[in-house]
Amino acid sequence: MDASTLKDRTAICGIDCFNCDFFHTNIDAFFANMPPERKRGFEARGMTIEKVRCNGCRHGGCTILEGTCETLACAKAKGVDFCYECNDFPCRKLQPLAEGAERYPHNLKVYNLTAIKNRGIEAWAVEVGDIRKRYFRGTFKIGAGPQLPETK
């Protein structure tokens, strides 16, 4: 993807929408490969494929968010394309939090934004899939950061 497309598919807060299971280019495969018991759980909560299909925050907002995204509203009010362009970066809206960290990539926001700012969105996009793998499936090693489990 080129820089313009990547920007369009990356949230203002730094979340890589293009890697989200609910993003419109990924959701059909996500639901097709979902175990039946998990699919029933989604449907029991009213999370049908039609309701959660997302085009990203730059095109209608996150479909799993209840209400208004305060971060998006703030960035729009300040006229920035990414939060790192704001004089208040990083602010408390981007603060890491343990709750939900095992399911949601919200703790990656500051890292992602800093990587986009320092290396460019195209270089960041190449590594972000690996970053997600380390975040969700890796282990932490003091002094070295997240480690991927060794494959045998």
pLDDT tens profile 138-152 = 888 898 888 877 654
Q: What percent of the chain has pLDDT over 90?
A: 43
64 inside domain? yes
- Is residue 150 one of the residues assigned to a domain? no
d(CA 126, CA 103): 22
Within a domain: residue 152? no
Packing angle between helix 121-137 and helix 109-119, nearest 10 degrees?
150
- Domain count for the chain: 1
CB atoms inside a 10 Å sphere around CB 17? 22
Evaluate whether residue 151 is within a structural domain: no
Query: Does residue 12 belong to any structural domain of this protein?
Result: yes
pTM of the predicted protein model: 0.84
Range of 85's domain?
3-141
Does 71 reside within a domain? yes
Q: What SS3 state is found at 146?
A: strand
Model pLDDT, residue 80: 97
Residue 146 lies in a domain: no
Write the pLDDT tens digit of every residue in 46-76: 888 888 888 888 888 787 778 888 999 999 9
Nearest residue to 41 (alpha-carbon basis) of 26, 52, 55, 57: 52
